[in-house]
Amino acid sequence: MSNERFKNPITESAPVRWALIAAVLAFLALFVLTPLVIVFTEAFSKGWEEYILALQEPDAVKAIRLTLLVAAIAVPANLLFGLAASWAIAKFEFRGKSFLITLIDLPFSVSPVISGLVYVLLFGANSVLGPILKSHGLQIVFAVPGIVLATIFVTFPFVARELIPLMQDQGTGDEEAAISLGANGWQAFWYVTVPNIKWALLYGVLLCNARAMGEFGAVSVVSGHIRGLTNTMPLHVEILYNDYNVVGAFAVASLLALLALLTLVLRTILETRYGSELSAGQKH
């Protein structure tokens, strides 16, 4: 403004500011954006028709179907768990609560490969349960149930993690008021709690779904890689890639990338519009 010589005490000089912004943009471009762009350029490298053909290939279609099926089981299961856990944790005071929260976060610190391994050790052919399962004709590992279980394991904390801090923040006043006015527990939950948490709930479900559809390591260990039977989309991407079917691999990958983009766009919309109704806590 009028005098250029004045130094604002709480910001950096303009060149420093722009250098830092440029560094961050370059970093993101290099490590985050370029890979995203490459997915689409590779997928379309031989044109639209090849792309569509790659997606119509029977094994690809089966992988897409299996992925949708797995997400359709895992996400509602973890949604139910998230609601129950956050209700118990946020609305009541009891001993061992912080330990319970740590346990819920546990899957975040377990390598996806280990998440798959534990089910192989539990239900696999040379486990204690293996022979029993086999005698009843049940197969869990190297079959769809194992994939579902491993997916539930890795996506376990997502919904609960969005809800717990928000509901703890909101306290118990609203529910207590509803109950003092004669509502029963279910009514208090449906008419008071759910409207208060709906956006965080949706956000948690979105993240849970994105991870459920995209999970690779855990599912890879339990799936047995049976083409057309136990291959989810990420596993199918791997198989095509190892077969040097670049267009096919990136075409299926592009669907997953689109899902990720959609999740982010919805997230941004939710945050812009309902930022105060989402928790201010950590996001994962």
Partner 1 sequence: MTSARSAARWHWKNPSVIPGFGLTLGFTLAYLTLIILIPLAALAWRSASLGWSDFLRLVLDPRTLAALRISFSTALIAAVVNVVFGVVAAWVLVRYNFPGRRIVDAVVDLPFAIPTAVAGIALTAIYAPNGMIGSLLAPLGIKVAYSPLGIVVALIAIGLPFVVRTVQPVMQEISQEVEEAAASLGASRFQTIFRVILPGLTPAILTGFSLALARGIGEYGSVIFIAGNIPFVSEIAPLLIVIRLEEFDYGAATVIATVMLIISFLMLFLINFIQAWSRRRFGYEQ
Partner 2 sequence: MEIRVEKIRKEFDLYPALHDVSLKIESGELIALLGPSGSGKTTLLRLIAGLEQPTQGRIFFGNEDASYRSVQERNVGFVFQHYALFRHMSVLDNVAFGLKVRPKGQRPPKAEIRRRALELLEMVQLNGLEKRFPSQLSGGQRQRVALARAMAIEPKVLLLDEPFGALDAKVRKELRRWLRDFHDRTGHTTVFVTHDQEEALELADRVVVMSQGKIEQVGSSDDVYDRPNSPFVFSFIGESASLPVKVEGGVVHFHGAPTGLTAQRDGEARLFFRPQDVSLIEEGPGMTGPVTSSRRLAGTRIAEIELGSPEKPCHVEVEVPLEASASNGSILSFRPTRWKLFY
Can residue 126 be called a binding residue for partner 2 (CB under 8 A)? no
Can residue 6 be called a binding residue for partner 2 (CB under 8 A)? yes
Total residues binding partner 2 (CB under 8 A): 8
Nearer to partner 1, 30 or 72 (CB): 30
Nearer to partner 1, 2 or 282 (CB): 282
Burial of residue 58 (number of CB atoms within 10 Å: 0-12, 13-18, 19+) = exposed
CB count in 10 Å sphere of residue 94: 8
Can residue 136 be called a binding residue for partner 2 (CB under 8 A)? no
Of 99, 254, 222, nearest to 152 by C-alpha is 222
| String of contacts with partner 2 for each residue 8-37, x by CB under 8 A | xx----------------------------
179: number of CA atoms within 13 Å, CB side? Answer: 10
Nearer to partner 1, 61 or 265 (CB): 265
d(CA 201, CA 163): 7
Q: In this chain, which stretch among 1-9, 183-191, 245-253, 276-284 interacts with partner 2, using CB under 8 A?
A: 1-9
Nearer to partner 1, 199 or 216 (CB): 216
Question: Is residue 265 within 8 Å of 148, Cβ to Cβ?
Answer: no
Task: Please choose which of partner 1, partner 2, none residue 280 contacts, taking the beta carbon within 5 to 8 angstroms, the exact cut-off set by kind.
Answer: partner 1
Question: Is residue 156 within 8 Å of 78, Cβ to Cβ?
Answer: yes
Q: Is 234 helix (H, G, I), strand (E, B) or coil?
A: helix
Which residues of the shown chain bind partner 2 in the complex (CB under 8 A)?
1-3, 5-9
